[in-house]
Amino acid sequence: MATKNFFTSSVGRKIIVGLTGLFLISFLVVHLLINSFILVDLVNPNDNGATFNEAAHFMSHNWLIRVVEIGLFAGLIAHIAMTVKLTIENKKKRPVQYAVFDGKANSKWYARSMAILGSILLMFLAVHLSQFWWPTKEALYITHADENSFEMVKATLTNPINLAIYVVGVVALGYHLLHGFQSAFQSLGLNHKKYTPIIKTIGTVFAIAVPAGFAFIALSVFLGLVQ
Ligand code: HEM
């Protein structure tokens, strides 16, 4: 398939959505791992966020991570752009079928609501990046002020409105992943009698455990368990 055809064909677009989805999923694992250092305070109250700050400092100063970060944003944009394109095309292709198509009988509500869940996630990300990512970059490149990621997280997540935004964000993330994880493998054509059920199970565990991990950290900070 010529390169141009690959990017404009629906199979090519599905592959891009699947690949970028898996890349974003791997980012979530790293992000949760770094965030889990916030919880060091639970077992060692003398830590005062030092372990998390060290990890955050490494992530924001290492050149290789900076390059991956550009890839992350490019992947996010490609994932959204291709999904929007596919959704519009599918709607154009099947204007009549929808009148008789009983989606409820064939799929779960969250599988039919990926665009809505993705839009909620995008809104969450806009708030999240303005609260954490931008101030970090501002301190690093503009004001050259001392960064204290731990204090920034505490100041943000002790606010009940922010906590509510995070809870809504991670619930949307969970449902998005509940369908998206296994769907990414299907888009890549990886269908196998033996392995597909295993992928589905791993996807379900991942879709529950990862958002629950983010929510647990946010709640621990909100409740003052992490000082
Ligand atoms: C307890 C919940 C969370 C906390 C405390 C948290 C904390 C942070 C912090 C401190 C940063 C800035 C890192 C830096 O630039 O140095 C960051 C960046 C980011 N977060 Fe989160 N986060 C949380 C949940 C999430 C979730 C659920 C998602 C995705 C759905 C997410 C996606 C991102 C992205 C895309 C970035 C920018 C990545 C980069 O700079 O390379 N975060 N987060």
Q: Does 104 score more than 80 pLDDT?
A: no
Q: 133 CB under 6 A from ligand 1?
A: yes
Q: What is the pLDDT of residue 190?
A: 86
CA of 27 to the centre of ligand 1 (A): 10
Q: What percent of the chain is predicted at pLDDT more than 90?
A: 74
**CA nearest neighbour of 200 among 181, 223, 177:** 181
Q: What is the pLDDT of residue 96?
A: 57
Q: Which atom of ligand 1 is nearest to the CA of 211?
A: 27
CA distance 128 to 122: 10
Beta carbons within 8 Å of 60's beta carbon, 6+ residues apart = 136, 140, 147
Q: What is the pLDDT of residue 206?
A: 98
CA of 192 to the centre of ligand 1 (A): 34
Q: Give the HSE-up count for residue 158: Cα atoms under 13 Å, Cβ half-sphere.
A: 10
Q: What is the pLDDT of residue 98?
A: 52
Of residues 98 and 119, more confidence is placed in 119
Q: Does 4 score more than 70 pLDDT?
A: no
Q: What is the pLDDT of residue 216?
A: 98
Q: Which residue has its alpha carbon closest to ligand 1 atom 12?
A: 133
**CA nearest neighbour of 37 among 139, 153, 121:** 153
Q: Does 6 score more than 90 pLDDT?
A: no
C-alpha distance from residue 121 to each of 71, 76, 176, 184, 189 (Å): 19, 11, 9, 18, 26
CATH of domain 3-222: 1.20.1300
Domains of the chain, residue spans: 3-222
CA of 214 to the centre of ligand 1 (A): 10
Rounded to an integer, the average pLDDT of 154-181 is 97
CA distance 98 to 118: 22
The structure tokens listed for 124 are: 């969450």
Q: Which residue has its alpha carbon closest to ligand 1 atom 9?
A: 132
Q: 216 CB under 6 A from ligand 1?
A: no
Q: What is the pLDDT of residue 191?
A: 83
Q: What is the pLDDT of residue 3?
A: 65
The structure tokens listed for 84 are: 């929007």
Render pLDDT for 35-77 as a digit per residue (tens, 0 to 9).
999 999 999 989 999 999 999 999 989 999 999 999 999 999 9
pTM of the predicted protein model: 0.91
Of residues 92 and 182, more confidence is placed in 182
Q: Does 171 score more than 90 pLDDT?
A: yes
Q: What is the pLDDT of residue 1?
A: 53
Render pLDDT for 70-101 as a digit per residue (tens, 0 to 9).
999 999 999 999 999 988 888 887 665 555 55
Q: For a ligand 1 pocket test, name from 20, 26, 28, 31 the mutation site with the most ligand atoms within 8 angstroms of its C-beta.
A: 31
Q: What is the pLDDT of residue 71?
A: 96
Decide if 12 contacts 5 (C-beta within 8 A). Answer: yes
